[in-house]
Amino acid sequence: MKVAVVGATGLVGSVMLKVLEERKFSIKELILCASERSTGKNIIFNNNSYKVTGISDAISNKPDIALFSAGSSTSLKYAPLFAKAGTYVIDNSSAWRMHRNKKLIVPEINASILNSGDKIIANPNCSTIQLLLAVAPLHKRYKIKRLVVSTYQSVTGTGVKALNQLNDEEKGIKGEKAYPYQIYRNCLPHCAGFSDDGYTKEELKIVNETHKILDPEIKVTVTAVRVPVEGGHSEAVNIEFENDFDISDIRNILDKTIGISVQDDIENNIYPMPISAEGKDDVFVGRIRRDFSNPKSLNIWVVSDNLRKGAATNAVQIAEYLVENVLNV
């Protein structure tokens, strides 16, 4: 495969490279792109040094697959140019997610809808991916009526600038701010900009993407909160089902789901935490318990490394699916 990574110097881009290495993705030629200010920088991949190139050079090189993580405006402008050159683009930004003709993919749930005409494929929002991986198998068995989700999101979801803000504030250094307030020792109920209805765009992404990927009939409400954490996103999820459930069956279903790891042993203080999810590809589920305040309802706690399954790993898994099932190689 001739593979391009657009946004290779960014937080998600560098994890994409790590995941491609770890999963031994078959690469004959690797093209690394970033903004003009990074052109000429060296990046090491599989013990070889690669020079960062500009995006136009990458397009004329006609890669088979381009993994994009360079923001929405870069994707809107350049993904169609790659697609026109015959490249399959897997885009981590929100640019194409809700586009009528573009597919939004969590491989374990809906990769089978992909075909050779899908030249621009959207990677869902990080919070959506971990939420849906956990609830999709439960929906299949007991049919979900309503989801109430509260997120506790890592600063890494905002990018390098936010991570620097947290580290600077911890050390008492004055620096660039990614957020309107201090994030160190604080929580901001404000992930992405606000929309007119009072919700943030992050909250609406989770609602809309759940409808697109899983089921438009599920009622979803979300409060998304940024917390001074690095390792991953956490989510408190309340699920109301159409049908009554057996709690041991819920555990069994989650236990058997590929990509889910159940960590739920309260007697030994075992539950998922971002500090232990960091660097791993699984979505961790714990605190599995019936909601006694409402019939047919369940509470779970879901944690995952947002840079891996929430972004880079999901994108690489889509690329693997394309290679195995869609591309003629």
Residues labelled catalytic: 126, 233
- Dist. CA 117–CA 91, nearest whole Å: 16
Q: Does the footprint of ligand A2P cover residue 7 (CB under 6 A)? A: yes
> With CB under 6 A, what is the number of residues at the site for ligand A2P?
18
- Residue (83 or 160) nearer to ligand A2P, CB: 160
Q: Does the footprint of ligand A2P cover residue 80 (CB under 6 A)? A: no
- Dist. CA 206–CA 222, nearest whole Å: 7
Residue of 1, 33, 121, 135 that binds ligand A2P (CB under 6 A)? 33
Helix axes 247-256, 126-142, angle to 10 degrees: 130
Tokens 């929580």 sit on residue: 187
Residue of 159, 168, 271, 327 that binds ligand A2P (CB under 6 A)? 159
Helix axes 201-213, 126-142, angle to 10 degrees: 40
- Residue (9 or 304) nearer to ligand A2P, CB: 9
- Dist. CA 50–CA 42, nearest whole Å: 5
Closest CA to 38 of 70, 80, 15: 70
Q: Does the footprint of ligand A2P cover residue 160 (CB under 6 A)? A: yes
Q: Does the footprint of ligand A2P cover residue 63 (CB under 6 A)? A: no
CB of 12: closest distance to ligand A2P in angstroms? Answer: 6
Residue of 9, 125, 208, 306 that binds ligand A2P (CB under 6 A)? 9
Cβ proximity of 106 and 133 under 8 Å? yes
Stretch that binds ligand A2P, among 8-16, 59-67, 141-149, 284-292 (CB under 6 A): 8-16
Q: Does the footprint of ligand A2P cover residue 55 (CB under 6 A)? A: yes
Which ranges of the chain does DSSP label H, i.e. alpha helix?
Answer: 11-22, 55-60, 72-84, 107-110, 126-142, 160-171, 201-213, 247-256, 274-277, 313-321
CB of 125: closest distance to ligand A2P in angstroms? Answer: 14
Q: How far is CA 266 from the centre of its chain?
A: 28
- Dist. CA 213–CA 106, nearest whole Å: 8
Helix axes 313-321, 11-22, angle to 10 degrees: 50
Residue of 23, 38, 143, 273 that binds ligand A2P (CB under 6 A)? 38
Torsion of CA 313, 315, 317, 322, to 10 degrees: -170
CB of 190: closest distance to ligand A2P in angstroms? Answer: 18
| DSSP code for 194 | B
- Residue (36 or 244) nearer to ligand A2P, CB: 36
CB of 10: closest distance to ligand A2P in angstroms? Answer: 2
CB of 40: closest distance to ligand A2P in angstroms? Answer: 11
Stretch that binds ligand A2P, among 33-41, 171-179, 243-251, 290-298 (CB under 6 A): 33-41
List contacts with ligand A2P (CB under 6 A). 6-11, 13, 33-35, 37-38, 55, 70-71, 74, 159-160
